[in-house]
Structure 1
């Protein structure tokens, strides 16, 4: 049976993450409050931001920027987008 979580992004019960996606308290908080669907969508946005903005994950400033974008994404606030990105047609 699949575990569910009340997703803070979508405000509904959705499939839960199987394990914390980040180390420490932040990872446990995300696992308890963010759905697998929302996390997968965040990972896609995060990848585009890292690639298009040439972020360096060894740079604390770039990591802080991504964490800020993560919070904005999960709170349904406007996030930065990769310039020139065109979502695939459905």
Structure 2
């Protein structure tokens, strides 16, 4: 049986991550409070931002920017969106 968490983004019980995505307290917080669904959406969104803005993960300011954007994304804040992106129609 899979582990469930009260997802911070969706405010409902959803399947949790299999392991913490980062070491330390931040990773534990994500593991305890973010669902697999929300984490997958974030990693996809993060990839779009990195590609759209040509960001380098070697730059500490980029990593700080992405951490801030992740917090906004997970809490319903006004997060950065890829310019010109149109989601596929279903």
> In structure 2, what is the Cα distance between the partners aligned to 1:42 and 1:77?
13
Where do 1:18-29 residues align within 5 Å?
A: 18-29=18-29
Structure 2 segments unaligned to the other structure (5+ residues): none
* TM-score, normalised by the number of residues in structure 1: 0.96
- SS of the equivalent of 1:55 reads coil
* TM-score, normalised by the number of residues in structure 2: 0.96
Please give the root-mean-square deviation of Cα atoms over the aligned residues, in Å. 0.7
Partner deviation per Cα, 1:25-68 (whole Å, 9 max, x = no partner): 11111000000000000011100000000111010111100000
What displacement does 1:14 show?
A: 0.2
Structure 1 segments unaligned to the other structure (5+ residues): none
What displacement does 1:85 show?
A: 1.1
